[in-house]
Chains A and B, each alone.
Chain A
Amino acid sequence: MSRRHAVRHHGSPEATPLVLVHGFGCDQTMWHHVVPALARDFHVVTFDLAGAGAADPAAWDAQRYSRLEGYAEDLVSLLHELGLRDPVLVGHSVSAMIVAHAQVMAPELVGRLVMVGPSPRYVDEGDYVGGFTAPQIEELLASLSANYVAWSHAMAPVIAGNPDRPEVQGELAEAFCRMDPAIAEVFARTTFLSDARDVLPRVTAPTVVLQCAEDVIAPREVGEYVARAIPDATLVLLRATGHCPQLSDPEETVAVLRDHLLAGGVR
């Protein structure tokens, strides 16, 4: 499993384990700007979900990964193999729901959860506000498939030649955040059409919900809904804007994780 998901370890193996799970559209490089700082206090584990980044393409299966549970089962197997002690699972975006599923499937393998920009359901339904109408989601899915060129080429390794950030050069020399457009299409459907609202009340681990300011993908009402639905959850409002605080404000993201996980008495 470790090899299949291109697992990387950062920091001391003795420290509190922190498993970072990237969301839709990228791979573990999504965590790049926060990993060095987090590795000072945590044993940070990053990996690529099936179909993303350097994950084994042979393991991809359109049927299996048309459900979030498919990804969650992978995560549970991975946790089993890694044998981490009460790890904190940090799920960004759609992976907030993947870590929720994993915690419900195997509570004994998970210490706490952190959800970054979570949304259990993107489509509005009755009183529930997901932020998107069904036609908007359909348009989004069409537009994601239309961006074939962008998905397959946009993330070419231009950064390898960036003199401003020498520390990232070698590591990022290979292509990253690149996704097979066919896989991106399936993952997009799974992400934007699934409904994980029924899982939230079954989450038994203490959970921190990080909500960005002005997040068009997961608006504040959704973050509040998630924090209400999970029995033991704390909502933290970030200053960071957008949907990716680990990119737009790495310092704040690291500080909040440290505050809540270290001071919060991670076992």
Chain B
Amino acid sequence: MTRSRVLEAFTAALLDDDPQALYDKAPCGYLTMAPDGTVVKTNETLRTMLRAGELAGTTWQQLLSPAARVLHETLLMPSLRLNGAVNEVAVDLECPDGTRLPALLNATAERDADGRLRFVRVAVFDATERRRYEQDLVRSAEEARAAQHAAEHAEARLRVLVDTLQGSLVPRYLPAVPGLALAGAYRPAGDGSEVGGDFYDVFATDCDEWWVVLGDVSGKGVDAAVLTALVRNGARALATSLAESEREPALVLRRLDDLVERHETERFCTVVLLRMRRRGTGTWSVTMASGGHPPLLLRQGGGPVVPVEVQSPPVGMGLQSGLDRDGDPVQGSIDLGQGDMVVLYTDGMSEVRTPDGFLGDEGLSLALDTIASSSSCADEVAGRLLDHVLDLQAGTPRDDIACLVLVAD
């Protein structure tokens, strides 16, 4: 811009934008009032905003909505008297024609030499659009809060359902079995918000005869839980209803397979079944069958831990019914003397990544070796074995984990 054009613009502003014009046509409303609210002076912009004629002589309070009058007394005036200024007070002004104008106010106090309030200057900004936007924001925030609240409520309900359901699949307390120390460990995958497919059960079928069942239904969620309940309760019902002579794990496994086959599901299940009979000598005679389940770990006579595999196909895949009808699934047997230990587990315990690859049945077996050589307490062994597996996954299991430790007294 050349010097002459600057001069020209300056002269024009002097002529057309003198202080009076600046006051009257300012881009915000101006109002001056006495301390009691008597309006002394207003600018044209304010009168246009309020669609009002001369306002001098009326009171500021008359221009305020009832709510705004309370704000005036509790916020605006105390601020002005104590503080000399107040900014961004949101009020509704009442125009003389009865309509409302959402406005933002800034105000300053003019005091005399003694500090007494002489008059108040108010700048008024039309905040119609801003108010609408703020109300939308408040509404959205409230809706978001309500939605979050509902979600939290739903989650809490879900958690109770999951816990209840899970509690019916994994007993909270194991029964006291004379001559056998038992300890169980269970952890659902991730944050535990979904019911898992792992389960176990320990129940008596006779005097000194106990069954131990542990299994893993493929998948998770309510659908899997239905099958889990079927297998767990099916095993119990089958084992207790069979006559003593027929009551063998292999037969129960085969019947379970029939049961699951008839159930409309794509899912299958691995399961290990132990029938444990206590002899008069205090030792245990154990027969066992396994449908596609990882081996059990056995430690006898203080020796090394060995995996024991008795393999038949998993339950529910229709493979067992294809077997020779005369031969039930394979059945194994072991003897447990005093201090001997059996560990049953699901693949959540063994299919765990380690710095060198996978833990596997061998890795778990080695870990148990170390633990069992320093402790033969079932609770402690179960706890330490679980810790070992959780530590490898930074405390959060990727799959459900179930484990049962049995130690003959």
Footprint of B on A, CB under 8 Å? 23-26, 29-30, 32-33, 93, 132, 136, 139-140, 142-147, 149-151, 153-159, 162, 164-165, 172, 176-177, 192, 214-217, 241-244, 247-248
Contacts and interface: CB of A to CB of B under 8 A. Distances in A.
A244 B83 contact: no
Top 7 nearest A-B pairs (CB, nearest first) are: A25-B74, A140-B67, A243-B73, A136-B66, A247-B81, A143-B67, A216-B69
A244 B88 contact: no
Interface in B239-276: none
28 contacts: A24-B74, A25-B78, A26-B74, A29-B82, A30-B78, A30-B82, A33-B81, A93-B74, A143-B90, A143-B91, A144-B71, A146-B131, A146-B134, A147-B71, A150-B75, A150-B89, A154-B75, A154-B89, A156-B83, A164-B113, A177-B79, A177-B83, A214-B36, A217-B74, A242-B37, A243-B74, A244-B81, A247-B78
A248 B92 contact: no
Given A158-B83, A247-B81, A151 B75 contact: yes
Nearest to B79: A154
Given A132-B66, A158-B83, A216-B61, A177 B78 contact: yes
Nearest to B85: A158
Given A25-B78, A143-B90, A247-B78, A165 B83 contact: no
Nearest to A179: B75
B89 A147 contact: yes
Contacts of B67: 136, 139-140, 142-144
A241 B36 contact: yes
B111 interface: yes
Contacts of A164: 111, 113, 115
A173 to B, nearest CB: 13
B82 A176 contact: yes
Contacts of A156: 83
Contacts of A157: 83
Contacts of B88: 149-150, 153-154
Q: Is the interface of B mostly helix, strand, loop or mixed?
A: helix
A25 B70 CA distance: 10
B68 interface: yes
B393 interface: no
A244 B79 contact: no
Contacts of B92: 143
A157 B35 CA distance: 21
Contacts of A192: 70
A30 B61 CA distance: 21
Contacts of A140: 66-67, 70-71
A158 B108 CA distance: 11
A242 B66 contact: no
Given A155-B82, A158-B85, 4 more contacts: A30-B82, A143-B68, A149-B90, A216-B69
Contact of B75 (A25, A132, A215): A25
Given A164-B113, A241-B36, A248-B35, A153 B87 contact: yes
B339 interface: no
Contacts of A172: 82
A136 B37 CA distance: 21
A26 B80 CA distance: 12
Given A150-B86, A150-B89, A139 B73 contact: no
B321 interface: no
Nearest to B78: A26
B84 interface: yes
B121 to A, nearest CB: 15
Nearest to A24: B74
Interface in B113-171: 113, 115, 117, 131, 134, 138
A242 B36 contact: yes
B65 interface: yes
Contacts of B111: 164
A84 B309 CA distance: 86
A92 B110 CA distance: 26
A150 B79 CA distance: 10
